[in-house]
Amino acid sequence: MSAILEARGLSKSFGAVIAAADINVSVARDSVVGLIGSNGAGKTTFINMVTGYMKPGAGTIRFEGHDITPLAPRRITQLGIARSFQVPQLFNSLAVRDNLLAAVGIVAAAASRWAHGAITRERAETVTDEMLGRFGLDAYRDKPAGVLPEGVRKLLDIAMALVVKPRILLLDEPTSGVSADEKFGIMDVVMSAVKSDRVTVLFVEHDMDIVNRYAQRVLAFYDGRIIADGAPGAVLKDDEVRKYVIGEELHVAR
């Protein structure tokens, strides 16, 4: 499979804290990659660098062969990389449906199609209602986004990211702050939505059951470095991952 995203020699530090140290990753098209690691390991920094939220101190990021390292977030989004956030970024004063409607409108405006009338109000409403159905948000359509349960806010955040019709979707802790019962439900909805659109997914996750079930490949971060890279089964059994990521006590036989 061809690489859709390539990071070479990525480094980033905040004063004395090293958030990324010479990260080299190649992500295959249509794959689902789980990013694991303890807090401060560098997972979110990696996502932030890929999506232009912060610039790496050194290294390059290539998306479909194009160097996107110096680009602004909106340019990276326009090229086909979308993201969700640890804290959902919604239009809190608007209802759920209006959030999606606004997102469709913004994407249309950003693409300048509005001027030619390619996306009419009716078309925008059709796309919005379709998204509401796909993400199971119909029941909340008229509720203000600011008062929704966290799981619904996460879903709405991801749905808004998918309005862009990205080729890569980066999800920053899509199930954090959500009850254990809801986690698999959220991931099922998201995965079925991205599968039909053939979107490559990278997701940051702390729940190893989620990682095991949905990721085809796992990158384990520790201290700004990738300490393990491979299939979930193999990575989750790795000694360093068990010690630094999962937090197990290792008893080495002498």
Judged by CB under 8 A, the stretch of 17-25, 67-75, 189-197, 215-223 that binds other proteins is 67-75
Residue 114 binding other proteins, by CB under 8 A: yes
Q: Which of 167, 158, 170, 171 is nearest to 197 (CA)?
A: 167
Nearer to other proteins, 23 or 82 (CB): 82
- Which position among 18, 21, 95, 119 is part of the footprint of other proteins (CB under 8 A)? 119
CB of 226 to other proteins, least distance (A): 25
Residue 241 near residue 220 (C-beta atoms within 8 A): yes
Total residues interacting with other proteins, rule: CB under 8 A: 31
Q: How far is CA 72 from the centre of its chain?
A: 17
Q: Which of 7, 19, 108, 148 binds other proteins (CB under 8 A)?
A: 108
Is residue 43 involved in binding other proteins (CB under 8 A)? no
83 alpha carbon, distance to own chain's centre: 5
Q: Is 143 in the site for other proteins (CB under 8 A)?
A: no
| 91 is an interface residue for other proteins by CB under 8 A | yes
For residue 115, the 8-state DSSP code is G
Selected from 92, 126, 179, 192, the binder of other proteins by CB under 8 A is 92
Task: Read off the tokens for 94.
Answer: 């608007």
β partners of residue 221? 226
* Nearest of 30, 35, 28 to residue 174 by alpha carbon: 35
CA distance 217 to 33: 5
Give min distance, CB of 37 to other proteins, in A.
23
| DSSP assignments along 3-33, one per residue | EEEEEEEEEEEETTEEEEEEEEEEEETT-EE
Least Å from the CB of residue 203 to other proteins = 16
Q: How many residues does the chain have?
A: 254
124 binds other proteins per the rule CB under 8 A = yes
Q: Does 78 bind other proteins (CB under 8 A)?
A: yes
Measured between alpha carbons, how far is 224 from 20 in angstroms, rounded to an integer?
A: 4
Residue choice 164, 194, 201, 210 for contact with other proteins (CB under 8 A): 164
Interface residue list for other proteins (CB under 8 A): 51, 72-74, 77-78, 82-83, 85, 89-94, 102-103, 105-111, 114, 119, 124, 160-161, 163-164
